A and B are shown apart, each in its own frame.
Chain A
């Protein structure tokens, strides 16, 4: 496991590789993926977490060795915030739905977070799942502003800026401006609005495809905007989206399996959803260069993939062993 310090943290966030998925590309339609699990805590959320903390420091909202950062999260944001905030000298409390996987809870504990688990019966009128966690994190932080700071990734413009200032410019540079379509999954809306705003400023003809999950989904990090409200961060700049793709659990898992067999990539379920969307578009165009965000890898999803019959233990262990795209990070995975 890589150890980070406050001084080398920023150098390690971003600049993730973009690779061509050659077995899926055709002569006229090229398909690329940006591998966000190369970030130090293993996902695209490192960018938003770092930008939100730094922005709060600039505004004087955080005091080293005193402030507690509290955030509702069901996965990657909690991991990123805990890793980065601990490195920078802040305590972290993460509020998560109790049904979140034990793998994720273990990573959070190992990184030093205090975990508050919510259940849907705490306060039914605020909603279910993450909505309970948002309500509890708000209830804990609001009366104690001297002690707690809640970044609130669903409203915080630093989440947008992270992608406007890093993800967008990286893609533009890595592709040398040569892309026609951009795809990413949607949760808070930070990645899609920030990256797309930058890309469209460079070339307004780039088409942006937003990927959401089906209702009642198993795709961590994504939302379905019929069953969950669209976050304020997203509604502010929803105009960047040209079209929507709704990914099912089945096709996302099928794509995760295909990416493993054809490209030796062990991706997280939301990357499977993005891949399904890219192939759907690829079928309908004659020429194009497609770039998708693969938000995280599959190292946190061993039990989910086993339950959903995506990979059995032997296949999973083989993928981890042979995979050239699984770098050592600062995230304490426990997939063995």
Chain B
């Protein structure tokens, strides 16, 4: 279950209109700029992003706080963990 407080991201990145692997690549670049513990929101519309971003975040030791679907959009909130 998602806690609304968990979803306050310090920055939102819109990667709608972009397709694999660019949404993951942009996510990676933005996470590199954050401090540990900070969160970022990614808004994507490539259906493959759900699997790609989730897998990449988990494999790289960060925390996927939430994934929301609204119409064709996917909203990821990610916490930098290392």
Contacts and interface: CB of A to CB of B under 8 A. Distances in A.
A317 to B, nearest CB: 36
A9 interface: no
Interface string B37-61: 0000000000010001001100110
Interface string B1-34: 0000000000000000111111011001000000
A135 B46 CA distance: 15
A116 B21 CA distance: 12
Interface residues of A, number: 13
Nearest to B27: A122
Interface in A98-153: 116, 118, 121-123, 125-126, 132, 135-136, 139-140, 143
Contacts of A125: 20
Interface residues of B, number: 15
A139 B56 contact: no
Contact of B56 (A122, A135, A136): A122
Contact of A136 (B21, B48, B55): B21
Nearest to B21: A123
Nearest to A133: B21
Contacts of B60: 121
B33 to A, nearest CB: 15
B20 to A, nearest CB: 5
A115 to B, nearest CB: 12
A126 B17 contact: no
B18 A118 contact: no
B18 A135 contact: no
B28 A122 contact: yes
A143 B60 CA distance: 28
Contacts of B56: 121-122
